[in-house]
Amino acid sequence: MYKAGQLSAILVFFLTISSAANAYLDPGTGSMLLQGIIASIALGLFTIKTWWYRLVSFFPNRQQNQKAEEDATIPPEK
């Protein structure tokens, strides 16, 4: 348990230290990040839509049940 605390303290220490990167981000990097963000949003919306339809299809549809009951109670025409 003591070693886990030491390791987490060392990890936090090294993650909080920052130094100058002297790196260059070209315009392609920005467009790649934007594409990733847009793709993540689209994937999230698609996933929500898919799970929503699965959830809705799990429960019986009230309108279809009412229509079936009405059709069953209406006597056939002679």
CA distances to 39, 68, 78 from 73, in Å: 51, 9, 15
- Output the pTM of the full model: 0.47
Number of structural domains the chain divides into: 1
pLDDT digits (tens, 9 = 90+) for 18-51: 777 777 778 788 899 999 999 999 999 999 999 9
Is position 77 within any domain? yes
User: How many residues belong to the chain?
Assistant: 78
Range of the domain at 38: 26-78
- Coil/strand/helix, residue 74: coil
Looking up tokens 């898919």 gives: 50
Is position 51 within any domain? yes
pLDDT digits (tens, 9 = 90+) for 1-13: 568 788 888 888 8
Is position 21 within any domain? no
CA distances to 28, 31, 39, 43, 49 from 36, in Å: 12, 9, 5, 10, 20
d(CA 37, CA 54): 26
